[in-house]
Structure 1
Amino acid sequence: MRGPRDDRTFVGPGDRFELVEHVGSGGFGYVWRARDSVLAREVALKFLALDRLVGSRPNPERLASVRDRFARESLIAAKVDSPYVARIYDCDIDGDEPFLVMEYVEGRPLSDYLGPRPLPLARTCRWSGQIARGLAAAHDKSVVHRDIKPVNILVREADSDVRIVDFGLSRFVDATETRSEAGTPLYMSPERCRAEAGDERSDLYSLGCVMYEMVTGWPPFGDERAEAFALARAHQDRTPLRPGGQAAGVPVPLDDLIMALLAKDPQQRPDNARMVVRDIAEVERLLGDDGPEPGPEEYPPHGIHRTGTGFADRLSAAELNVRELTTRHSPDHHLVITARMQLADLTGHSGDTRGAAELYDRIGRDIGAWYGPGHSLALDAFEGMARWVVARGPNGSQRLP
């Protein structure tokens, strides 16, 4: 299996792909950033470790069967067409190593943004809605992910939109001789914990686990140190505490949606991902998103990207402005600090007073570390934090400053 290496390596027919950089490893393979010499574009190559999937001494017939299954599953997954799903372009085999040719996403996994503090509610809704749209597009093609988790959701650097990766791999892994079941215990549905195949509603349960972590700062059960068996029993037998009881300011409709997604019985979860998209849109309007009312055209069978003028898009633009200014200047530059304060205020006016207070708190701490806690900018930041704490009100109601 291909780990990091220094020499230039080419794979694929006619040495089509040049391996440029080893970018990640997982339980069943490695990912490389590569250059496609035919189409002159960057791609991601995911190599699968057959020895982990079919055993160290598989017979030739078994290897051929696994390769055929890999090609079939790749073909099915490649049919998914959504701006929120990383596209699969091709598949091939280099020696004994099957690999996928996928869209290369310049960004970071959602896991980098999570914990221990909750995400701002507007960002939670934006990303959750995009994940649900991606799932809807896949489910329309009868493609189930089976391993929705933060590391399989990438946030693009360019526009802060998400891309779901690794569609199609879970069913392939499930079918191998090792009987290894794809999925991560922290985010696995009860039926998947029972080694059942699961369906679209299994993905919705995993989405509920991810959304729970977004709004509280931690998954519904345990953490990465918990034993897999204990997590599996918790998913099957325990009811998680309501997110609204773990973090202040969670709107009741969002609280109810997450708990519905986490229902033990798949029949009690939302019927499909499009229902989740609509429910999240309702929460966004409750938070004060002044984007246009969604109509039926927003939820076509194959998913169409739609950019509104509401707070979610304005927040994304403000975040990009902060990143661009930080790239051009040092983090302690006054333009960066001003942009961060503007982002905090926009977060508060979107209805997320909790998020605004936390952003101002971070700004104040950063300025204190750079210039001392008594600096006027630090005092301004902590004053902003206090303003949004007061705006929340004693019972969580919002009064805009």
Structure 2
Amino acid sequence: MATRTLGGRYQLVKRIGVGGMSEVWHGHDEVLDRPVAVKVMAPHQATTVDIVRREARSAARLAHPNVAGVHDFGTSANQPYIVMELVEGRTLGQHLAGGPLDWRIGVRICAEVAAALAAAHGENVVHRDIKPGNIMLTPSGAKVLDFGIAAAIGTADDDPDGPVMGTPAYVAPERFAGHPATAATDMFAVGTLLYQCLSGRLPWLRATPTELVHAECHDDPDPLPEIDGMPGEVIDMMSRCLAKDPLERPTAMVAALLLAEAVDARVYVPMTDFEPAVAPTTSWVDEPTSASQAGRHRA
């Protein structure tokens, strides 16, 4: 980069993350004298300014304690960047590398994630990539990160014949049949996340992506190990989130409130509940069956 200060105010102090499409820097806002995180798109990416601006706008509309806030958007040398709340801690993925969590901790984390999604869905935004690596655990609670592939609820994919946006193990079955992302697709990811917190593994363990997608679309989740003291309502909520039919999944608000009650925790959710996703007009249960269909995903 030609300069280490963006927009005349954001000094890049230390690089704290590198991905295929972007770098994240620990930065300093020289105008407001506060630490920030700055996500800068990699120069070799063909990412358009409009796509990154859409990400910034999606997250900036969400004023919620369990969502990492967005402060600003800009470009430097034709590279778009987003200035965000600096969230310090470890990701849920890093914690799960050591095995399953205490069930009370796992349930509370998922209650907070569901509360964040209730706020997003209330703004007509679906995240589309809920997974352990996008959940930061902080002393004040869980924070949902990276609205990079967020979209308006029900919006068709930019490339219907291209890869399904998201991480395969957390993508809802109807998405592999080409249906748009809805609030219910985020809830399937919450169910997968809860299962993983409680067991230390995914609901389906398969050798290849094709086999994994087939299992998600057709097979029941592997049974959870018995967990002493955990209310049956938690298992029921997890099972409902993992339902093949999106209409059977709970709303984010319902999931947040029930899970929080199970561990005597408090979460902030909007006051109005939201209807579940509109039922697909065509059957997806028997799809996909081929490797080419199962391959429609983004790692």
- Relative to the length of structure 2, the TM-score reads 0.80
Contact 1:81 1:138 in 2 (8 A): no
Paired letter, 1:138:
A
Choose between structure 1 and 2 for higher RCO, CA contacts under 8 A separated by at least 6 residues. Answer: 2
Deviations 1:179-211 (A, max 9, x none): 454311121111233343211111110011010
Unaligned runs of 5+ in 1: 3-7, 55-65, 303-401
Instruction: Measure the CA separation in 2 of the matches of 1:176 and 1:240.
Output: 30
Q: Distance in 1 between matches of 2:25 and 2:130?
A: 21
More strand by share: 2
Alignment pair present for 1:252 and 2:232: yes
| Corresponding position: 1:77 with 2:59 | yes
Q: Is the 8 A contact 2:55 2:147 kept in 1?
A: no
How far the C-alpha of 1:281 sits from its partner, in A, is 3.0
- Equivalent residue in structure 2 for 1:25, among 18, 29, 37: 18
Q: Shift in Å at residue 28 of structure 1?
A: 2.4
Aligned to 2:173: 190
8 A contact 1:208–1:262 mirrored in 2: yes
Helix, strand or coil: the match of 1:214? helix
SS in 1 for 2:4: strand
* Uncovered stretches (5+) of structure 2, i.e. residues with no partner: 273-299
CA-atom RMSD, angstroms? 2.8
| Change over 3 Å in CA distance of 1:260–1:102 after alignment to 2 | same
1:12 is aligned to 2:6: yes
Specify the SS of the correspondent of 2:125. coil
Alignment-mate amino acid for residue 25 of structure 1: V
Q: What is the number of residues matched between the two proteins? A: 268
Contact 2:128 2:185 in 1 (8 A): yes
Give the SS at the match of 1:169: coil
Identify which range, 261-270 or 107-116, moves more after superposition. Answer: 107-116
**Which of 90, 109, 118 matches 2:72?**
90
For residues 47 and 227 of structure 1, what CA distance do their matches in structure 2 show? Answer: 33
Q: 2:82 maps to which residue?
A: 100
SS at match of 1:43: strand
Q: State how far apart, in whole Å, the 1-side matches of 2:109 and 2:254 are.
A: 16
Q: Greater helix share, 1 or 2?
A: 1
Is the aligned partner of 1:35 residue 2:28? yes
How big is the shift at 1:139? Answer: 0.8
Counting only pairs closer than 5 Å after superposition, residues 201-350 of structure 1 correspond to structure 2 as 201-222=184-205, 226-243=207-224, 246-249=225-228, 250-270=230-250, 272-284=251-263, 289=264, 299-301=269-271
Which residue of structure 1 lines up, in the alignment, with residue 281 of structure 2?
none
Shift of 1:221: 1.7
Q: In 1, Cα distance between the equivalents of 2:149 and 2:39? A: 10
* Pairwise CA distance, 1:22: 1.3
- TM normalised by structure 1 equals 0.61
Amino acid at match of 2:257: R
CA contact (8 A) 2:119 2:269 kept: no
